[in-house]
Chains A and B, each alone.
Chain A
Amino acid sequence: EPEVTQTPSHQVTQMGQEVILRCVPISNHLYFYWYRQILGQKVEFLVSFYNNEISEKSEIFDDQFSVERPDGSNFTLKIRSTKLEDSAMYFCAGGTSGREYFGPGTRLTVT
């Protein structure tokens, strides 16, 4: 059964540094998503991506965030200048219309 994969599983970075989180979605999915979940809190939508462009984004997804799907395979989330409050689990997902398949997540720790 195909799976969504994410790397790294855990990323530790210093405040102000740039991080890139990587995801390989299931190949036949058309929509891709990034979510975050701060420890002990609810899952929060960040952005959806379709046909090589952002289709929706939340208020969280400000100018510090960007997404790319450079080679038709990898789907990346970049945070330009990390803040302490960016520490969270970041989940990539693919699917459509609410039926989404999540990757195992990347735990981002900003120190």
Chain B
Amino acid sequence: RKEVEQDPGPFNVPEGATVAFNCTYSNSASQSFFWYRQDCRKEPKLLMSVYSSGNEDGRFTAQLNRASQYISLLIRDSKLSDSATYLCASLSNYQLIWGAGTKLIIKP
């Protein structure tokens, strides 16, 4: 039973485009949600926390839809350096449960 699911991609996107990822979760009791970024063979790095009211940080916007049990990440004006795998995670019982990640490739 997969608790957190993501489209593995890869998403091939031209530089400057807007790209959106969704992530669904199965545990309705999950308290908090996060987006992490992971470069190849590197550690995950926290990108954003996801609040019920949405969260925006520069070109990045994260939103939570509790009714449909998904979170989303929107990247505007994508840059080559945005190429990475984007992991969503839900916090349940003080444990982070991870999705498998969506690979994003930004092409010049």
Query: B101: which A residues are within 8 A, CB to CB?
Result: 42
A98 engages B93 (CB within 8 Å): no
Q: Which residue of A lies closest to B44 (CB)?
A: A102
Range for the number of chain A residues in contact with chain B: 20 to 34
B 47-88 contacts with A by CB, 8 A: 49, 87
A98 engages B96 (CB within 8 Å): yes
**Cβ-neighbour of A45 out of B87, B96, B99 (below 8 A):** B96
Q: Per DSSP, are chain B's interface residues mostly helix, strand or loop, or mixed?
A: strand
If A42-B99, A44-B98, A98-B32 touch, whether A56 touches B46 (CB-CB below 8 Å) is no
B43 engages A100 (CB within 8 Å): no
Q: Using a Cβ cutoff of 8 Å, how many contacts connect chains A and B?
A: 50
Check A58 for interface membership: any CB of B closer than 8 A: yes
Check B34 for interface membership: any CB of A closer than 8 A: yes
Check B13 for interface membership: any CB of A closer than 8 A: no
Report A80 CB to chain B, min CB distance, Å.
23
> Which residues on B are within 8 Å of A, measured CB to CB?
32-34, 41-46, 49, 87, 89, 91, 93-101
